[in-house]
Amino acid sequence: MESFYRSCENHLTYPQNLVAQDLPTHTLQAHYDRLEKRSELLFDEHEAAVDFWDLKRGENDYQPNCINDLNSMKQFLREALLRASSDPDCRYMFLSAPHSRAALRISAAMFKFLLSYHQIMPAFLDFVFPFGEQILPQDVHFSGLREDSRLDDYIDNTALSQLGRSGNALQLCYNLRSVEPSNDQSLLPWSIRQAAVCHQFDVKTGTTTWIIVKANKLLKNRIVEATSRSCSRPSKLSEAFSATLSAHLLMCEWAGENWRWYFNDLEKQFQDLTAGVYKTQTEKESIPSSPESSHGFSMSPRSRTSSFPLLSRSTTICNSPLGSPNAKSTPYVPSPPSRIGTIQDLASNGRNVPVAHRTNGSDEVKEDASCNNSEYHPVKYIPPAQQLVKASLIKVQAWARNTWSDRPSTPQPEPSQASPVPNEEYGPQEYPPEKSEQNSNETHDEFSFLDLQRIQYIEEKAQETYLVIGSNVQILTDLRQHYKTLIDNEGFPVDLKRDCQRNLSRFDRCVRGIEKDLQMLQARIQNLQERLANRKDMVNGILQHRSVKTSADFAKRAQQSADHMERMTREMHEIAKKTKQETVSMRVITTVTLFFLPATFIAVRNAFRYLKPGTEIRQTFMSTDILKFEHGEKDFQAKGLGLYLAIALPLTVLTFVAWYVIYRLAKRGDLQRHTDASDEMA
C-alpha cells in the first residue's frame, strides 16, 4: 500500500510513478515528456467534467457521478480507502470534449491522478494523444492494441487487497474509428470519429475498470442504456467476464456501423460528378446522322447513290420536258444538277414524275409504264426564285433543329427495298443536321477544374476510408485473437474458461462477422478507388483536350491575324515603293524648279505691266530683246545675255546653298529628337 500511496502522491510524474515499472526508464521518460508537451492542447481544465458510472459492491444499480476538479476527484476516489471498502465491481469513466477537435474536458492533473490511481499502463497515452485541440485531424491513421496481462499465480507489489485488487488482472487498450453523421461537413455529411478504450479485469475478484475517451457521448449513452437494461448485477466471476465481452462487442459494433451508408454517399457523389464523362464529345462526328422523312425518302449517302443515278436514258428522256409532246408549250430553263433542285422537283411535282422501280432488290430499273405507253407527264416549271426560297426554308429548318434539340438525333434504319408506290407525293426533304461549332463546345463545359478538385476530394476520402477500415479490421482481429489466446493460457482460471466458453464463442463469431462486413466494404472501396483514378484521368484528359483545342483556336486566330498582318505589310511595302518613287520624282521636280526659279524670276517682269501697259504678254526670257527674229532676221544681244546670266546664276547658286543649309538644320533637329527619345526609353 505504501508504494501505491506514493504513486498517487506523485501523480504529476505519471507514468514514472507507476508501481509496476516493467518498461525501460527512457521509454517512461519519453511518455512523460510527450504528455507534458501535449498537455496544453490536450486538456481543458476550465471545462473539466469527468463522468463516472459505478456499480458498487452490494448494489444492483449503477450510480452516475460527474467530477469537475482535482480535489473532488481525490475525495471521490479515496472513499474506498477511507471507508475501508474496495473499488466498485464495475466502473466506467468517460472523457469527452465539446467536439472531435477540441480539448478534453479534464485537467492534466486530474488525468494523471486518474491514471495513477487505477495504475493504467503507459501505452494508453499513445491512444489519447490523437485527441485535443487541432485544426486538421492529426495522427488519424495511428491504431493498435496493447495488452499487459498478469496471470501468474504470485503476489507482487501490485496487489491491493484493501481495494479488491488481487494483482492478477487483464489490461488492454486500443482505439477504434467509425463514421458518424455530421451537419458541419458541407461536401459530405459524414465525419470519421475515434474512440480510445482502456480496460482492466481482475480474474480473481471480478473487478472491472473502463476508461473510454470519445468526443461526444454516443458510447456513454449506449453503455448506460445497456447496463441499465440488465436485470441483475453480475453475481459470478463468469458473469462479470461475460459483461466485459459484451462491452467489447458494443465497441466493435460501433466501429463497423454506418460505413455502408457513408460509402453509398461517396459513390453517389462520384456517379453524379463523372456520369457524363463517357458522353462528352470532344470531336465532330464525321458523318452526322438524322432521322429520315416520314415518307421513307432516305437522304443517306447510300440511298442517294442508289436512287437517282440508276434511271435509264429512256426514262430520263421520258421525264424531261424536251421529250414530251408539250415541249413547245412548256418553257424549259436548263440548270446544273444539284441536290436542292432535284429534291424540290420531286417534292413539288411528285405526282408528275415517273419513279423507277426495283425488282427483287436488284439494281435493275424498269421503265415506268407511263413512259412505255407514251403517256408523258411534263415537269412543272419552278421559277428560280421559288427554288431559292424553298432551299432557304430547308436550311432554316435544319438550323432550328440543331439549335433547339436537346440531344442529337438518333439514326433511323434505312427504308426497305420495296418499290415505292408510283405517283406518290413526297413531302419536303430535311437535310441531316450539321453539328455546329457552338454545340461541339458545349460538351466541354460540362467539366471544370472544380469538378476535378471534387473528384480528388472523393478519392482522398476513399483512401482514408480504406485505411481506417483496414486498421479497424486489424484491431478486431487482434482483439479476437487476444481472448482466444488468453483462454489457452495456463494462468487463466479453468472454471472461468469453462463457464464462459459459450460467450467466448459468441464473441468470436460476432467480431468475425463484423470483420467480414468491413473486408467486403474494403473491397468495394478498392474498386471505387480504381474507378476514381480512371475517371479522373478521363476528366483530366477532357480538360487537357479542351485546353489544347482552345490553344489551337487561339493559334488559328493568331495565324489568321499574322496572315492579315502579312498582307497589310505587303501592301504597305508596295505603298512604300510607290512613295519612294514619287519622292524621287518630287525631288527631281524640286531640284529642277530650284534651278530654274531664279532665272525665271529674273526674266519675268511683273512690275512692268503696271508701269507700261501692254507688256504682260512679254513675260519670259524668249520674249525679251536679247534674242529676236523679225522679218526673217536674227538679232542677238550678247551684252544683255551677259547681264542676265550675271544676275541669274549667282541667285541660282544662292538658292541651292540656302536650301542645303535649311535641309541640314532640319535633319540635325530630327537626329537630336531621336537621340533624346532613345535616352528616355533606356
* DSSP string for 119-155: T--TTHHHHHTT-SS-SS--STT---EEE----SS--
Q: For residues 681 and 36, which has the higher predicted lDDT (pLDDT)? A: 36
Split at pLDDT 50, 70, 90, the class of 80 is low
DSSP letter assigned to residue 621: G
330 with 252, same domain: the answer is no
Q: Determine the Cα–Cα distance for residues 86 and 501; give it in Å rounded to an integer.
A: 29
227 with 318, same domain: the answer is no
Residue 129 contacts residue 139 (beta carbons within 8 Å): yes
The answer to the question of residue 590 being in a domain is no
- Residue 284 reports pLDDT greater than 60: no
pLDDT of residue 274: 80
Q: Determine the Cα–Cα distance for residues 232 and 518; give it in Å rounded to an integer.
A: 34
Q: H or E stretch including 617?
A: none
Domain containing 171 — which CATH number? 3.30.460.20
214 with 355, same domain: the answer is no
Q: Determine the Cα–Cα distance for residues 235 and 245; give it in Å rounded to an integer.
A: 16
Residue in the structure block whose three cell numbers are 462479470: 240
For β-strands 145-147 and 90-95, DSSP reports them as unpaired
pLDDT of residue 92: 96
State the cell numbers at 233. Answer: 448485477
Average pLDDT (18-43) is 91
Count Cβ atoms within 10 A of the Cβ of residue 335 and give its class: 0-12 exposed, 13-18 middle, 19 or more buried: exposed
pLDDT of residue 177: 96
157 with 75, same domain: the answer is yes
Give the torsion through C-alpha atoms of 31, 36, 42, 43, to 10 deg: 120
The answer to the question of residue 593 being in a domain is no
The answer to the question of residue 21 being in a domain is yes
HSE (side-chain half, CA atoms, 13 Å) at 491 = 14
Give the torsion through C-alpha atoms of 317, 318, 323, 325, to 10 deg: 180
pLDDT of residue 158: 64
Looking at 374-448, list the stretches that DSSP marks H as alpha helix, in order from N- to C-terminal side.
384-404, 437-442
233 with 109, same domain: the answer is yes
- The region of weakest confidence among 136-140, 279-283, 286-290 is 286-290
Beta carbons within 8 Å of 246's beta carbon, 6+ residues apart? 226
pLDDT of residue 151: 78
Q: For residues 626 and 291, which has the higher predicted lDDT (pLDDT)? A: 626
Q: Determine the Cα–Cα distance for residues 503 and 483; give it in Å rounded to an integer.
A: 11
pLDDT > 70: percent of the chain: 68
Q: Which of 200, 225, 257 is the last residue of a domain?
A: 257
Q: Which of 375, 407, 434 is the last residue of a domain?
A: 434
Please write the tens of the pLDDT for every residue from 221-247.
Answer: 999 999 988 756 677 888 999 999 999
Average pLDDT (489-510) is 89
Q: For residues 518 and 533, which has the higher predicted lDDT (pLDDT)? A: 518
Q: What is the 3-state secondary structure (H, E, C) of 542-570?
A: HHHHHHHHHHHHHHHHHHHHHHHHHHHHH
The answer to the question of residue 463 being in a domain is no
Q: H or E stretch including 53?
A: strand 50-55
Q: Determine the Cα–Cα distance for residues 177 and 131; give it in Å rounded to an integer.
A: 12
Average pLDDT (656-674) is 87
Per the prediction, the chain carries an average pLDDT of 76
Q: Determine the Cα–Cα distance for residues 89 and 221; give it in Å rounded to an integer.
A: 20
- Residue 583 reports pLDDT greater than 70: yes
192 with 308, same domain: the answer is no
243-246's contacts with Cβ under 8 Å and 24+ in sequence apart are 243/90, 243/208, 244/199, 244/201, 244/208, 245/483, 245/500, 245/503, 245/504, 245/507
Please write the tens of the pLDDT for every residue from 168-190.
Answer: 889 999 999 999 998 877 778 89
Average pLDDT (620-626) is 61
Average pLDDT (261-290) is 72
How many other C-beta atoms are found inside a 10 Å radius of the C-beta of residue 52? 18
Q: Which domain does 62 fall in, by range?
A: 2-257
Count Cβ atoms within 10 A of the Cβ of residue 104 and give its class: 0-12 exposed, 13-18 middle, 19 or more buried: buried
> What φ, ψ does residue 90 adopt, rounded to 5°?
-145, 130
- Residue 469 reports pLDDT greater than 90: yes
The answer to the question of residue 662 being in a domain is no
Question: Which of the residue ranges 381-395, 467-481, 531-545 has the most confident prediction, judged by mean pLDDT?
Answer: 467-481
252 with 308, same domain: the answer is no
Question: Which of the residue ranges 288-302, 312-326, 390-404, 476-490 has the most confident prediction, judged by mean pLDDT?
Answer: 476-490
DSSP secondary structure, 349-369, as one string? SGGGS---EESTT-S-EEPPH
Residue 179: which of 262, 267, 98 has the closest Cα? Answer: 262
Q: For residues 540 and 101, which has the higher predicted lDDT (pLDDT)? A: 101
Residue 163 contacts residue 87 (beta carbons within 8 Å): yes
The answer to the question of residue 165 being in a domain is yes
3-state secondary structure of 54: strand
Residue 123: which of 93, 140, 104, 146 has the closest Cα? Answer: 146
- Residue 646 reports pLDDT greater than 90: no
Residues forming beta bridges with residue 525, ordered by sequence position: none
Q: Determine the Cα–Cα distance for residues 365 and 375; give it in Å rounded to an integer.
A: 19
Please write the tens of the pLDDT for every residue from 383-423.
Answer: 666 666 677 677 667 766 665 554 444 444 444 444 444 34
Residue 609 contacts residue 616 (beta carbons within 8 Å): yes
Residue 596 contacts residue 649 (beta carbons within 8 Å): no
311 with 253, same domain: the answer is no
- The region of weakest confidence among 32-46, 98-112, 195-209, 485-499 is 485-499
Q: What is the 3-state secondary structure (H, E, C) of 211-280?
A: EEECCCCHHHHHHHHHHHHCCCCCCCHHHHHHHHHHHHHHHHHHHHCCHHHHHHHHHHHHHHHHHHHCCC
Q: Which of 257, 289, 314 is the last residue of a domain?
A: 257
- Residue 464 reports pLDDT greater than 80: yes
Average pLDDT (656-676) is 87
Looking at 488-627, list the stretches that DSSP marks H as alpha helix, in order from N- to C-terminal side.
494-499, 501-603, 608-611
Q: For residues 420 and 659, which has the higher predicted lDDT (pLDDT)? A: 659
Q: Which amino acid is at 314?
A: S
Q: Determine the Cα–Cα distance for residues 477 and 624; give it in Å rounded to an integer.
A: 135
pLDDT of residue 444: 39
Q: For residues 635 and 78, which has the higher predicted lDDT (pLDDT)? A: 78
- Residue 377 reports pLDDT greater than 60: no
250 with 390, same domain: the answer is no
Alpha-carbon separation of residue 596 from 62, 599, 602, 623 (angstroms): 133, 5, 10, 16
Q: For residues 193 and 141, which has the higher predicted lDDT (pLDDT)? A: 193
Alpha-carbon separation of residue 326 from 323, 335, 369, 445 (angstroms): 8, 20, 19, 61
pLDDT of residue 82: 65
Domain count for the chain: 2
User: Angle, to 10 degrees, between the axis of helix 449-487 and the axis of helix 237-256?
Assistant: 160
Split at pLDDT 50, 70, 90, the class of 542 is confident
pLDDT > 90: percent of the chain: 37
The answer to the question of residue 485 being in a domain is no
84 with 191, same domain: the answer is yes
pLDDT of residue 147: 92
The answer to the question of residue 496 being in a domain is no
Q: Whole-model pTM?
A: 0.62
219 with 309, same domain: the answer is no
pLDDT of residue 396: 66
358 with 416, same domain: the answer is yes
Q: Determine the Cα–Cα distance for residues 56 and 548; give it in Å rounded to an integer.
A: 75
Q: For residues 374 and 651, which has the higher predicted lDDT (pLDDT)? A: 651
Q: Which amino acid is at 188?
A: L
